Structure formats: structure tokens, C-alpha cells
Amino acid sequence: MTSKIKNLGEIGLIERLTKRIKLDKSVVLGAGDDAAVIRWTRDRYLLYTCDMIIEDVHFRLKDAAPFQIGRKALAVNISDIAAMGGVPRYAVISIGINPATPVSFVDRLYRGIEALAKRFKINIVGGDTNSSRKLVIDISLLGEVEKENLVTRSGAKRGDLILITGAIGGSIKGRHLNFMPRLAESRRLVKNFKINSMIDVSDGLILDLGRILKASSCGAVIYEMAVPLSKDASSFASAIKNGEDFELLFTMGQKEAARFFKTELARFGTDVSMIGEVVEKRNGIKLVDGTGRIRNIKAKGYTHFD
């Protein structure tokens, strides 16, 4: 029987494709994090990421203005650079679009891209266009990070506290089109505190936490009552799995976290919540609900091909 992509799933397909790739010494970190890390100068790394958004998967034309679609296409990439502690610099933009689309639509879409590029001082340096039945935007973004400020998914340590910016859940009601990448928050964190691991929550809190834990060979305990839910969240169960929140999920040592909450939180400008603790790998992910009951929870969220 011929195996299908849907049988592998998104994570399985990525692992199948990347395990055969050979990298030279210029690559510090390839596939498996929010961005690739490449040797560059004595004190800085290059960061390289790409993200694609597709009509009827990441947005619907009847619900999203062209400006919002273009803005989101760049925002999701900026969020990846933020998750590595870096700063975005250069973008190339490829678009697949129906030839019958009005030119005015494309103009408005590019205004959305340009508005965010201007805000974050990103240079748009090229790209490609192709005919497509549905709208597809694929952006590759190059950034940079000081070597001492690089944060990956693999640095979480037993005893770390797990923190998250903002609130999660209900992004489909509009926030997924209008969110602001947490770049300023990321830079403030990495410049002033020792952040052991970080990821942006794009595919759901639990799935993305699971990615940190897998990369770091750890487990976690999450406290349901501590998880900040958006006013648009329909339930806790949906909020931790639906994704597209684009908040920063990160871990730091307990003393460092205490220093953050004592000296920084009041002036940080964005809410930060402590939602759990990193534990030994053999514990998996455990959820403590409002009654104190403890149960195992699987690292599930939004994945393509399911």
C-alpha cells in the first residue's frame, strides 16, 4: 500500500525530508527551530526563515482585507525572528495569484506588507510572481542576532519556569490578521535576562511547548488557572490547541524569573504570565486543573495534512 502524506502528517513529512540533508560548518542550526542560524561575523549570526500563507488555510478572502493579508504574510515571519531573539533585516516576497485578480487588490496587499516593513525597518529586496488559482504568499526573511542573545528551542532546563506573553485563544475572530509581532518584547528580554528557550505560539500552546520540550529533552507541568485566555477564547481546550496567537512562549531560571517580575514587568508594556515549570522528560506534559487534579496531556495543536 502506497504511503500518503496525510499518513505522515506535517511533522513526519518535515522529519523525513530534513534527515537526509547534509550541512557544512557555516550552518550553526538548520531545520527544527523558528529560523536557521548561520555563521556570519565575529559577534553576530544570520537568521533565515520563510513562511507561507495560503488562501482558505490561513485566511479567507471574504473575511480579510488585502492590506491585512499582506501584513500577516510578513508578520508571521517577523514573529519567527523574534522567537530567536533577533532583528529582521531583508525580505524577498513570492506571490501566486489568480490572473483575474484586480490590480488594485495587489496594490492594497503590498501596502500591508510595506507598512509592517517600514515599522520594523525591513528592506524588501526581491521576489517572484506566478499564476495560481488561489492566493499564496511566501516570504523569506533574513535577520541577525548577537551571538550572546541567540535563543533556541533546545535550552530549557529542569526547574525553569514557563512564561508566555499576552493571552491566547480565539485568534480566528480577527487577531490572527492584526497581531503585532512581539519583536520589541523579545529584544528587551534577551538583552536584559537569561532566556533559556523560546518559541512563538503559531500552532497552539501545547504543541509549541511540546517542541521546546522535545528539543530540550524535558517535560513540563502546566497550571490551567495560570494560562491567560483571550476574551475571544471559546474554551480552555480550544485556546491551547488552535494556534495563530503569535505570542512568545519562553523559559527562564527561577531566580531570573523572580528578577523579571520584580524589576521589569511593571514597565515591560505587555502582560507576561508564569504558566508552569519544566520537569524531567519522563514526566511528559502534565496539566493541573482548577481543582488540583493532575492529568497527562499530549502535545497536539494545529498541523497541516491532518
* pLDDT computed for residue 305 by the predictor: 40
Domain 21-148 in this protein, CATH class: alpha beta
Question: pLDDT in tens for each of the 306 residues of the chain?
Answer: 567 766 666 566 666 667 777 889 999 999 889 999 999 999 999 999 999 999 999 999 999 999 999 999 999 999 999 999 999 999 999 999 999 999 999 999 999 999 999 999 999 999 999 999 999 999 999 999 999 999 999 999 999 999 999 999 999 999 999 999 999 999 999 999 999 999 999 999 999 999 999 999 999 999 999 999 999 999 999 999 988 999 999 999 999 999 999 999 999 999 999 999 999 999 999 999 989 999 999 876 544 445
* pLDDT score for 286: 96
Start and end residues for every CATH 3.90.650.10 domain found in the chain: 152-296
Decide: helix, strand or coil at residue 9.
Answer: helix
- Nearest by Cα to 40 from 29, 30, 26: 26
Yes or no: say if 88 and 140 are a contact pair by the CB < 8 Å rule. Answer: no
pLDDT at 301: 56
CB 213 within 8 A of CB 219: yes
Query: Which residues is 133 bridged to in the sheet?
Result: none
Which residue from 216, 207, 222 is spatially nearest to 157, judged by alpha carbons?
A: 216
For 258, the 3-state DSSP assignment is helix
pTM: 0.93
Helix%, strand%, coil% for the chain, nearest 5? 35, 30, 35
Here the cell at position 87 is 532583528
CATH 3.30.1330.10 spans which residues of the chain? 21-148
Where do we find the cell 512564561? 163
Q: For residue 90, which of 48, 130, 138 has the smallest C-alpha distance? A: 48
The pLDDT, as a whole number, for residue 36 is 96
What pLDDT score was predicted for residue 22? 83
- Residue 164's nearest CA partner among 83, 247, 265 is 247
Domain 152-296 matching CATH 3.90.650.10: the answer reads yes
Sheet of 123-131: strands edge to edge?
A: 27-29, 36-39, 44-54, 136-146, 87-97, 123-131
